[in-house]
């Protein structure tokens, strides 16, 4: 069974589905008690900062791999006193590695973010070997950089096969709206509900990857027989602008003509050569298909 922290969250839900589709069973860990949604899915209640509670899961299930998607950062602001928040974030990561060693899992995958490339020298697409700046503009990429360094150290020192996913801008069913980082979710929700999408610029873009594709990419990395690297960009390999998303929506929703402020194209995107070569992954959802699927999901009465 694959243990997934954050398995009931946005990316976790799609990763779980992808692993199930590939024949795996999953154990989802969350702080609050929850019910199982599938005969091959078990939900376990545990705080990742509680080492004993986490390790006890291995007494009830045969864990063969770990996908660590739960937030490893003191976020949102004010959730904890700053030093306590940082301590909890890092303690969760250490406990995941302790569990991996005790259970002798085949691989640990850990979520990072496209945000670690912000401020990097050079131009997109950024590959995984680009030197990253020590400065950070936001706590999320800051703590992800810290996590990547700790992961690299512990993987070597403990002899654990650990892989970091630098995840792009993910959009689709279950995602948070509005997003503070990119405009696609706002545009889709505005078209679905006839509301205002806010002040968005046509040229602003990012490496968008549809949520179902993201889950499948992570599942393929978790299950690959052999991986040649410790870090993988999980993205589409291209920049998608707000203007492109708006054009796709206009073809799908009669009368929807999102008004965007004209602007030059900006936004980084990633080199996904490693991901393609080592897993065979190719996105199944382009902008148009993703927008259509997202609109259909919202039209079915889902809240997000």
pLDDT per residue as tens digits for the range 191-229: 998 888 888 999 999 999 999 999 999 999 999 999 999
| CATH 3.90.25 placement within the chain | 172-208+238-268+285-299
CA 182/CA 195 separation, integer angstroms: 18
Phi and psi dihedrals of 92, rounded to 5?
A: -60, -45
Residue 35's pLDDT is 60
Residue 23 confidence (pLDDT) above 90: yes
The segment(s) of the chain belonging to CATH 3.40.50.720 are: 2-169+210-234
pLDDT at 255: 80
What mean pLDDT is reported for the chain? 92
b or e along 241-271 (b: 16 or more beta carbons within 10 Å of the residue's beta carbon)?
bbbbbbbbbeeebeebebebeeeeeebbbbb
pLDDT of 174-193, one tens digit each?
Answer: 998 888 889 999 999 999 98
**Do the Cβ atoms of 105 and 62 come closer than 8 Å?**
no
Report helix, strand or coil for 188. helix
Q: Pick from 218, 23, 27, 222: which is nearest to 108 by CA?
A: 222
The pLDDT confidence band at residue 36, using thresholds 50, 70 and 90, is: low
Tokens 């002798």: give the residue.
Answer: 104
Predicted confidence at residue 193, as pLDDT, reads 86
Which of 32-41, 256-265, 279-288 has the least mean pLDDT? 32-41
Give 293: exposed, middle or buried? Use CB within 10 Å, 0-12, 13-18, 19+. Answer: middle
Q: What's the chain's length in residues?
A: 304
Neighbours of 133 (CB within 10 A): 14
- Give 73-113 pLDDT, tens digit per residue: 554 555 567 788 888 889 999 999 999 999 999 999 999 99
Distance, CA of 188 to CA of 37 (rounded, Å): 27
Domain 2-169+210-234 maps to which CATH number in 3.90.1150.10, 3.40.50.970, 3.40.50.720, 3.60.15.10?
3.40.50.720
Contact 246, 208 (CB under 8 A): no
Q: How many angstroms separate the CA atoms of 293 and 295, rounded?
A: 5
With pLDDT > 70 as the criterion, what percentage of the chain qualifies? 94
Domain 172-208+238-268+285-299: top CATH class: alpha beta
- DSSP conformational letter for 133: P
Report the share of the chain in percent with pLDDT over 90: 78
């Amino acid at each position: 069974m694959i243990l997934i922290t954050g398995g009931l969250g946005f990316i976790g839900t799609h990763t779980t589905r992808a692993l199930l589709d590939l024949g795996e069973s999953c154990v989802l860990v969350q702080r609050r008690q929850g019910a199982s949604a599938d005969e091959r899915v078990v939900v376990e209640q545990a705080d990742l900062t509680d080492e004993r509670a986490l390790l006890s899961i291995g007494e009830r299930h045969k864990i063969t791999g770990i996908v660590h998607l739960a937030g490893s950062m003191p976020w949102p602001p004010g959730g904890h006193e700053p030093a306590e928040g940082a301590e909890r974030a890092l303690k969760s990561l250490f406990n995941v590695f302790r569990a991996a060693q005790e259970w002798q899992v085949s691989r640990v995958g850990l979520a990072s973010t496209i945000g670690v490339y912000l401020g990097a020298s050079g131009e997109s697409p950024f590959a995984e070997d680009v030197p990253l700046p020590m400065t950070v503009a936001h706590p999320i990429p800051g703590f992800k950089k810290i996590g990547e360094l700790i992961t690299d150290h512990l993987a070597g020192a403990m002899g654990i096969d650990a892989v970091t996913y630098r995840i792009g801008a993910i959009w689709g069913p279950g995602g948070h709206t509005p997003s503070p980082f990119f405009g696609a979710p706002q545009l889709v929700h505005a078209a679905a509900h006839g509301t205002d999408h806010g002040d968005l610029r046509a040229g602003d873009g990012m490496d968008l990857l549809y949520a179902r594709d993201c889950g499948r990419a992570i599942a393929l990395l978790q299950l690959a027989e052999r991986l040649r690297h410790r870090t993988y960009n999980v993205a589409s390999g291209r920049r998608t602008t707000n203007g492109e998303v708006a054009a796709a929506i206009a073809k799908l929703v009669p009368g929807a003509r999102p008004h965007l402020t004209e602007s030059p194209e900006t936004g980084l995107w990633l080199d996904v050569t490693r991901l393609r070569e080592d897993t065979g992954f190719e996105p199944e959802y382009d902008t148009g298909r993703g927008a259509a699927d997202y609109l259909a999901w919202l039209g079915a009465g889902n809240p997000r």
